[in-house]
Structure 1
């Protein structure tokens, strides 16, 4: 049974900054890394480092717009 590309994009849109779409597509380590960056960025947001981490996750999230379909298709 393969992974649904549509579900992968729904997860990307709603939970993308948490890396849930990457975990769904089988990319567990990068999904956990994305989750960790988001959590640490949220905690350290009052100091400047949090802004940088959230920016990195945001750019990564946008890049995943183009990569998610390929990641989901590879799982089939």
Structure 2
């Protein structure tokens, strides 16, 4: 009975990923949502470490790095969602 209720992992929404990118892009929440835990945590760590260093060049450099990364992800989100939703396609 439990197997009938559980249809496996939920499909990831491209729209929700874009919303997370728009609201929390520098923190990598869109990457965490799409199953890219390590790189999402890396984005969050760079952003959090850059906050106290904002007045130095290192803080600004951190924000430029994660900002550029988030802009690149704006193009990559549909393919990341496709890979997450259809892992069998990766084997073909």
TM tier, smaller = over 0.9
For normalisation by structure 2, the TM-score amounts to 0.79
Describe how 1:33-44 pairs up with structure 2 within 5 A: 33-44=42-53
- 2:63 aligned with 1:54, yes or no? yes
> What's the Cα RMSD here?
0.8
Q: Secondary structure at the match of 2:81?
A: helix
Q: 1:74 aligns with which of 72, 78, 83?
A: 83
Matched positions, count? 76
Please list every run of at least 4 consecutive aligned residues from structure 1 whose deviation after the TM superposition is greater than 3 angstroms. none
When Rg is computed on C-alpha atoms for both structures, the one with the higher figure is 2
Which protein is richer in helix relative to its size? Answer: 1
Unaligned ranges ≥5, structure 2: 1-9, 86-92
Larger RCO, structure (CA 8 Å, separation 6 or more)? 1
For normalisation by structure 1, the TM-score amounts to 0.94
